[in-house]
Copies of this chain bind each other. A is one copy, B any other.
Amino acid sequence: MPELRKDPITGRWVIIATDRAKRPVDFVREKVEIRGSGFCPFCYGNESKTPPEIQAYRPDGSPKDSPGWSLRVVPNKFPALGIEGTLNRQGEGLYDKMNGIGAHEVIIETPDHKATMATMPVSQVESVLWAYRDRIIDLKKDRRFRYILIFKNHGEAAGASLEHTHSQLIALPVIPKRVQEELDGSREYYHYKERCIFCDIIRQEQDSGVRVIAENEDFISLSPFAPRFPFEMWITPKVHQSAFVESSKTEFERLAFMLKDMLQRLDKTLDRPAYNFVVHTSPVPENAHDYYHWHIEIMPKLTKLAGFEWGTGFYINPTPPEEAAKFLREAAIPAPVPVPA
């Protein structure tokens, strides 16, 4: 008999298949392979093919928009939103609209075309996290923005149009609905219990252990109780923290380690699947909140039955998270670089 489970934060029910649960080998999909053929605007020497860089890490002090960088942030060439102009909210009868003001940036994570976040050095992953932080801190100053969203599409099936590894940032004048639902749900829980729901979840998961994938000093990785997608994972700080940008140097080191570790486990368990991840953090201005707790959600792209879910918000997940966690926990990955103590 399948099980209906409710996500405690957003209240969304999902159907978890328990009979005939799908194991990693049961998912038919294309492996993400980096071909390296053709022209790549994100490789050394092609800096002029992207819009001028917003920021870059250049250990050799090389000039702007030239080779020598270790990480580069550029505006998206085909932005979903435009950066110029004044925010203009208006009605149209009973409808509400505003002009599409926002920022849409691309974080080119490494000059190495063949690397992925799972294969690059952990120090490079850390560098990517610093770039996320730098960009959020810079864009927070712009009073037009209400939310800054960091996300990554890995593989064509997850919506990546270029294979050279990159993340994206969208700064929005509104809070995205999924984030708003989390904010509302966790605020309501806090109001009732005077505790953060994420902190309570972490404690309960540590006690039971069945959905824990890994832990280090500062971070824990979980298969959530009511995941929408098979092998979905959350990485979150163990001690209450509402905003990603508040992380310390040591925390970013440990997060880089944890993120690389999870992506390696994903590659190993599911043979290099396409995936998306999103960083869910407090809205700007990022005040410290007692009720919200930032986290990263990693969603492998294994199933394609999307239309029904889109139309109903009702998800059928063929792999119980307890089994997914077991597969991911037991994945034999290369001996990790020691976690900074």
A→B interface (CB under 8 Å): 1-6, 8, 10-13, 15-18, 80-82, 85, 92-101, 149, 151, 153, 157-159, 170, 172-174, 176-179, 181, 197, 200-201, 204, 208, 225-226, 228-229, 274-278, 297, 299, 301, 304-308, 310-314, 316
Copies of this chain assembled into the complex: 2
A200 to B, closest residue via Cβ: B94
Main secondary structure of the interface of A (DSSP, over half): mixed
Is there an interface contact between B82 and A1, defined as CB atoms closer than 8 Å?
yes
A90 to B275, CA, bound (A): 33
C-alpha spacing A92/B210, complex, angstroms? 13
Give Cα A276–Cα B159 distance, bound, in whole angstroms: 20
Check A176/B2 contact, CB under 8 A, given A80-B17, A305-B159.
no
Please tell me which one of the listed residues B6, B100, B149, B312 contacts residue A95 in the complex, with CB atoms under 8 A apart: B6
With known contacts A311-B178, A313-B181, A99–B4 Cβ distance under 8 A: yes
- Chain B neighbourhood of A297, CB < 8 A: 311
* Chain B residues, Cβ within 8 Å of A101: 1
Closest Cβ of chain B to A291, distance in Å, is 15
A151/B312 in contact, CB under 8 A: yes
- The 9 A-B pairs with the shortest beta carbon distances in the complex, nearest first, are A2-B100, A276-B307, A178-B313, A177-B313, A278-B311, A159-B305, A176-B314, A6-B96, A158-B307
